[in-house]
Amino acid sequence: MPNMKVVDMAGKEVGEIALSEKVFGAEIKEAVLHTAVKAYLANQRQGTQSTLTRTEVSGGGKKPWKQKGTGRARQGSTRAPQWTHGGIALGPKPREYRMDLNKKVKRAALFGALSSKVADNNMIVVDAITAGEYKTKTMVAMLDALKAEKKTLIVLPEVDCFVVKSCDNIPGVKTTVYNSINTYDILNCDTLIVSKAAVEKIEEVYAK
């Protein structure tokens, strides 16, 4: 089992926690991580883009000029793709981009992402993450004390409005709860900050 020190919001070490080998010490499979990230990004696409074809644009019912004798190329409609205001040829139409992953692959990717953060020393376990009031300054002080840089993901055991709202104005910082974590968000952050209670709940839910 990998062990990790537990710190408070001021960055002072207050204890140690034994992490589950299954969740935080799993084999890191790049192919599985790539598949999970690809599926996540694909599922974010709405697929509602649409262009009008020549049958959908208005006008163009009359032949612009006679077929022969004008010296110009023959044309049947002013709404053909080569005309200004004409329809779009082979343009995008609404479609479904969704990719489904089975539970086994999702779990393997999530465990791999968490394990990669532990292996790279980019995961920090905090004894308790609280704000007590809507105060961005409190969370900024915690991030500075923990030396969290650039993109940071904060995982809570439950929704704490004070913490969530206090982090909303901090660029690059995102908050989530233990049962909403996903492979993409974990890999996309530079620092993963998890409360001790959230670690216990992650192991309780996913280590079965």
- Does the domain made of 3-45+98-206 have the CATH classification 3.40.190.100? no
What mean pLDDT is reported for the chain?
A: 92
For the cut 70, the answer to whether the pLDDT of residue 1 exceeds it is: no
C-alpha separations of 120 from 19, 31, 71 in Å: 15, 19, 72
CB distance 54 to 80 below 8 Å: yes
**CATH 3.40.1370.10 segments of the chain:** 3-45+98-206
Question: Which residues neighbour 47 within 8 Å (Cβ) at sequence distance 6 or greater?
Answer: 94, 95, 96, 97
For the cut 80, the answer to whether the pLDDT of residue 208 exceeds it is: no
pLDDT tens digits for 42-82? 999 999 999 999 999 998 889 999 999 999 999 999 999 99
